Amino acid sequence: MSGLAPAVERVVGELCKLPGIGRKTAQRLVFHLLRAPASEVAALAAALAELPEKVRACPTCFHLSEGGLCPVCSDPRRDPSVVCVVEEPANVLAVERTGAFHGLYHVLGGVLSPLKDVGPEDLRVNELVERVRSGKVAEVVLALGSNVEGEATAVYLSRLLKPLVPAVTRLAQGLPAGADLEFTDDLTLARAFENRRNY
């Protein structure tokens, strides 16, 4: 037995279910909350309670939104002719941080993986096809992971989309910024060679 009061044990148990949090971390968080003012704890509880009620998937791109379009889709300055396909909402944040992309997104909700029984019907592939077909999309950028599943998904989507849209592109693979050739593994270096470009 843990020797914790049942109310404490309940919170620890719930926190343990979160990714990256083990029992010790969960206990530390709970002890912190026990010392914090009641108002702070109530604010956290209220914020958590709102989460499933208020947060929805954007009806256009399936990024997170609070009812209606997400902040990216509702921004009139964004270029709707370029759509960047990513795996998860977290990837939208990563691309947004770069400030290098001004189009819209499409969140697939995963990648193809027969081992995990994930096929195209489990992803937002039909929605993407509809979007490309009905809208004025000039380019689809496939920004999926460079692992086996991400690349197979990219191949699948590119074949599906090529007849429907003028340009289907993918992110370049090559040297990480600031990298030294000597310390770059040969797989990355080989891909950087394959993707070399003119000055």
Partner 1 sequence: MTLDLLQADRIRCLRAVSLEPSRGLTLLHGRNGQGKTTLLEAAYLLATGRSFRTPRIEEAVRRGGGPLRVAGRVSGRAGETDLAVVVDGGARRLAADGAEVGLEAYLGRLEALVLSAERERVLRGGPDERRRFLDRGIAGLAPAYLRTLGECRRALEQRNALLRSGGAGRRAEVEAWDERLAAAAAAVHRRRREYAVRLAAALAEPARAVFGPGETLTVAYRPSPAAAGEAGPHGFEDAYRRALRSGASRDGALGFTGEGPHRDDLLLELEGRDLRKYGSAGQVRAAVIALKLGKLRLYREERGENPVLLMDDFDADLDEERAGRVAGFLQEESVQAMLTTSKETLAGALGVPMRKVRVVEGETRAA
Residues engaged in binding partner 1 (CB under 8 A): 112-115, 117, 119-120, 147-149, 151-153, 155-156, 159-160, 185-187, 190
CB of 111 to partner 1, least distance (A): 10
CB of 10 to partner 1, least distance (A): 35
Q: Enumerate residues 6+ apart whose C-beta is below 8 A from 4.
A: 12, 27
* 104/125 with CB nearer partner 1: 125
CB of 149 to partner 1, least distance (A): 7
* 56/191 with CB nearer partner 1: 191
* 65/153 with CB nearer partner 1: 153
CB of 125 to partner 1, least distance (A): 10
* 92/132 with CB nearer partner 1: 132
Pairwise CA distance, residues 158 & 82, whole Å: 15
Helix (H) or strand (E) run with residue 139 in it: strand 139-142
Pairwise CA distance, residues 172 & 170, whole Å: 6
* 60/153 with CB nearer partner 1: 153
Of 171, 172, 189, 173, give the one whose Cα is nearest residue 181: 189
CB of 53 to partner 1, least distance (A): 37
Pairwise CA distance, residues 63 & 92, whole Å: 8
CB of 129 to partner 1, least distance (A): 12
* 81/184 with CB nearer partner 1: 184
Burial of 73-94, coded b for 16+ CB within 10 Å and e otherwise, reads: beeeebeeebbbbbbbbebbee
DSSP string, 56-118: EE-TTT--EESSSS-TTTT-TTSEEEEEEEESSHHHHHHHHHHT---EEEEE-SS--BGGGTB
